[in-house]
């Protein structure tokens, strides 16, 4: 899947067909390599991550006042998503075989890590 298209235009007036940098609106050729563009793209990605984590903790009903680290929540979500996709067979390029027992063990490990952070 390609990212968003560069919003810059060529001399001919046609829109650039290259992919914009991650978090940005232009490709590397049209200014995506400039330090200020990279910095702004990083800010956008951080804002998106923070918003996603806020929505996730809200939906999970996690009490953020107890000091739950957002990185632990993010790691847990990524790992559980990978495990779920593997179990459902949606990811064909993974060679490891994950059993339901392995999923349960990973959930217990993440719960322990979550409890330790409180």
Are residues 53 and 68 both part of a single domain?
A: no
Domain range for 42 is 1-61
For 55, the token pair is: 């929505």
- Summary count for the chain: helices (H), strands (E): 3, 0
- Write the pLDDT tens digit of every residue in 64-116: 665 666 667 777 777 777 766 666 555 444 445 556 666 677 777 777 777 77
Q: Predicted confidence band at 28 (pLDDT cuts at 50, 70, 90)?
A: very high
- Average predicted confidence (pLDDT) for the chain: 76
> Where does a domain end: 44, 61, 78?
61
Choose the most confident range, by mean pLDDT, from 7-21, 32-46, 74-88.
7-21
Are residues 67 and 56 both part of a single domain?
A: no
Are residues 53 and 73 both part of a single domain?
A: no
Are residues 88 and 53 both part of a single domain?
A: no
The domain tally of the chain equals 2
Q: Which residues contact 18 (CB under 8 A, 6 or more apart)?
A: 5, 6, 27, 28, 29, 30
Are residues 93 and 57 both part of a single domain?
A: no
């Amino acid at each position: 899947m390609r990212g968003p298209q560069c919003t810059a235009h060529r001399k001919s007036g046609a829109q650039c067909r290259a992919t914009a940098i991650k978090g940005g609106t232009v490709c590397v050729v049209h200014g995506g390599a400039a330090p200020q563009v990279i910095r702004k793209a990083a800010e956008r990605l951080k804002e998106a991550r923070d918003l996603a984590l806020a929505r996730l903790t809200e939906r999970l009903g996690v009490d953020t006042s107890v000091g739950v680290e957002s990185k632990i929540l993010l790691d847990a979500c990524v790992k559980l998503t990978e495990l779920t996709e593997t179990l459902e067979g949606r990811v064909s390029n993974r060679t490891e075989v994950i059993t339901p027992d392995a999923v349960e063990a990973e959930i217990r490990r993440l719960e322990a890590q979550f409890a330790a952070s409180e």
